[in-house]
Amino acid sequence: MSVDATTVRRIAHLARIAVSEAEVPHLQGELNAMLAFVEQLSEVNVEGVEPMTSVTPMEMKKRADVVNDGEIADDIVRNAPATENHFFLVPKVVE
Amino acid sequence: MTDLTSLTIAEARAGLANKSFTARELTDAHLAAIEAARVLNAYVLETPDRAREMAKAADEQIGKGEGGPLAGIPLGIKDLFATRDIRTTACSKILGNFVPPYESTVTSQLWRDGAILLGKLNNDEFAMGSSNETSCFGPVVNPWRREGSNTHLVPGGSSGGSASAVAALLCMGATATDTGGSIRQPAAFTATVGVKPTYGRCSRWGIVAFASSLDQAGPIARTVRDSAILMRSMAGHDPKDTTSVDIGVPDYEAAIGKSVKGMKIGFPKEYRLDGMPAEIEKLWSEGAAWLKAAGAELVDVSLPHTKYALPAYYIVAPAEASSNLARYDGVRYGLRVPGRSIGEMYESTRAGGFGDEVRRRVMIGTYVLSAGYYDAYYLRAQKVRTLIKKDFEDCFAKGVNAILTPATPSAAFGVGEKGGADPVEMYLNDIFTVTVNMAGLPGIAVPAGKDAQGLPLGLQLIGRPFDEETLFSLGKVIEQAAGRFTPPRWW
pLDDT tens-digit readout, B310-353: 999 999 999 999 999 999 999 999 999 999 999 999 999 999 99
ipTM of the predicted assembly exceeds 0.90: yes
Mean of the per-residue pLDDT values for chain B?
97
**CA–CA gap between residue B470 and residue B395 (Å, rounded):** 16
Tell me, what amino acid is at B37?
A
Interface of B with A in 270-309 (CB under 8 A): 305, 307-308
What pLDDT is recorded for position A12? 98
Q: Does domain B2-250 have CATH number 3.20.20.80?
A: no
What pLDDT is recorded for position B260? 98
Domain membership flag for residue A15:
yes
Decide if pLDDT at A53 tops 50: yes
Q: How confident is the model at residue B423 (pLDDT cuts 50, 70, 90)?
A: confident
pLDDT cut 90: percent of chain B above it:
96
Output the CA–CA distances (angstroms, integers) from residue B487 to B2, B18, B86, in the order listed.
16, 29, 31
Decide if pLDDT at B457 tops 80: yes
Report the residue of B315, B364, B434 to disrupt the A interface, i.e. the one with the largest count of A CBs within 10 Å.
B364
Q: How confident is the model at residue B471 (pLDDT cuts 50, 70, 90)?
A: very high
pLDDT tens digit string along B176-219?
999 999 999 999 999 999 999 999 999 999 999 999 999 999 99
CB spacing of A61 vs B440 below 8 angstroms: no
CB spacing of A17 vs B351 below 8 angstroms: yes
Decide if pLDDT at B2 tops 60: no
Average pLDDT over residues B351-380: 96
Decide if pLDDT at A1 tops 80: no
Q: What are phi and psi of B86, to 5 degrees?
A: -125, 125
Q: Does B363 touch chain A (CB under 8 A)?
A: yes
Q: Which of B182, B227, B322, B473 is catalytic?
A: B182
pLDDT tens digit string along B359-369?
999 999 999 99
Nearest 10 degrees: CA dihedral of B66, B68, B74, B80? -140
Counted across chains A and B, CB pairs separated by less than 8 A come out at 162
pLDDT tens digit string along B107-164?
999 999 999 999 999 999 999 999 999 999 999 999 999 999 999 999 999 999 999 9
Q: Sort strands A83-84 and B43-46 into parallel, antiparallel or unpaired.
A: unpaired
**CA–CA gap between residue B389 and residue B381 (Å, rounded):** 12
Domain membership flag for residue A52:
no
What pLDDT is recorded for position B398? 97
Indicate if B158 belongs to the active site: yes
For B376, residues 6+ apart whose C-beta sits below 8 A from its C-beta are A1
What pLDDT is recorded for position B420? 78
pLDDT tens digit string along B212-246?
999 999 999 999 999 999 999 999 999 999 999 99
Is A2 or B440 the better-scoring residue by pLDDT? B440
Indicate if B302 belongs to the active site: no
* For chain B, domain boundaries: 2-250
What pLDDT is recorded for position B1? 44
Tell me, what amino acid is at B1?
M
**CA–CA gap between residue B32 and residue B47 (Å, rounded):** 12
How many independent structural domains does chain A possess? 1
Average pLDDT over residues A54-62: 84
Q: How confident is the model at residue B372 (pLDDT cuts 50, 70, 90)?
A: very high
CB spacing of B424 vs A37 below 8 angstroms: yes
Q: How confident is the model at residue A57 (pLDDT cuts 50, 70, 90)?
A: confident
Indicate if B383 belongs to the active site: no
Range from A61-75, B57-71, B292-306 carrying the lowest mean pLDDT = A61-75
Burial class (CB in 10 A: 0-12, 13-18, 19+), A90: middle
**CA–CA gap between residue B176 and residue B173 (Å, rounded):** 10
∠ at Cα B273 (B181, B306), nearest 5°?
Answer: 55
Average pLDDT over residues B50-68: 97
What pLDDT is recorded for position B276? 86
Domain extent for A37? 5-43
Are the C-beta atoms of residues B220 and B230 closer than 8 Å to each other?
A: no
Q: Sort strands B43-46 and A87-88 into parallel, antiparallel or unpaired.
A: unpaired
ω before B158 within 30° of 0 (cis)?
yes
Tell me, what amino acid is at B377?
Y
CB spacing of B332 vs A50 below 8 angstroms: no
Domain membership flag for residue A35:
yes
One DSSP character per residue, B190-230 reads HT-EEEEPPTTSS--TTBPPS-TTT-EEEEEESSHHHHHHH
Buried b (16+ CB within 10 A) or exposed e, B389-414: bbbbeebbeeebbbbbbbbbbbbbbe
Query: Which residues in chain A are contacts of B88 at CB distance < 8 A?
Result: none
Q: Does A68 touch chain B (CB under 8 A)?
A: no
Interface of A with B in 24-63 (CB under 8 A): 27, 30-31, 33-35, 37-42, 44, 46, 49-56, 58, 60-61, 63
